[in-house]
Amino acid sequence: MVMNIGHKLSFDLLSHFKDIDSTKSICTSLRSVFSWSDPVKEFGLCERPSLLHSFVKKVLHEDKCSYFFKIMYDSNSSSTVRDQIGRTVCKVINKGIKIVVLSREDPARKDLPLVSELHSILVDVVGWIFAILKDRQF
């Protein structure tokens, strides 16, 4: 439901929010949601949609991470806010990679379309992140 209401609104709100303590709390809570959603050992086997897959696809992949990069590099956000948003995205990507690796080792899940799509999306996202880190002047 949160993803459908405003998948980018959350980052936009956080990046312009002036109360740094609340931003940390919100991001910490969001990271907890991702920690508990999509159990790694069961990914792809249940009927419910994947929150992690939806987040990576809608927030990062659909626009080739451009909105995320705008917030991280071109916004007036404090370094603390950008750090919290970066940690949240890092948590999602790390869990996604773990899911793909373990799913590829599981005969029951290795050929599932959801696993293949998550793998493809993560390859693109990680590639874009490394490309901007390589080319960006800090």
**What local confidence, expressed as pLDDT, does residue 73 receive?**
86
Mean per-residue pLDDT, 96-118: 95
Q: What is the pLDDT of residues 56-88, one digit of tens each?
A: 998 899 999 998 898 888 877 788 888 888 998
Write the CB contacts of 35 (distance below 8 Å, at least 6 apart in sequence).
Answer: 91, 95
Q: Hey, what are 50's tokens?
A: 């994947």
Instruction: Say if residue 102's pLDDT is above 60.
Output: yes
Helix 79-104 to helix 20-36 angle (10° resolution) is 10
Q: What is the pLDDT of residues 5-49, one digit of tens each?
A: 455 556 666 666 665 667 777 788 888 888 888 899 889 888 888
Q: What is the pLDDT of residues 88-100, one digit of tens each?
A: 899 999 999 999 9
Which has the closest alpha carbon to 30: 93, 91, 80? Answer: 91
Q: Hey, what are 48's tokens?
A: 């419910």
Whether 14 contacts 85, CB under 8 Å: yes
Give the position of tokens 């069961």.
42
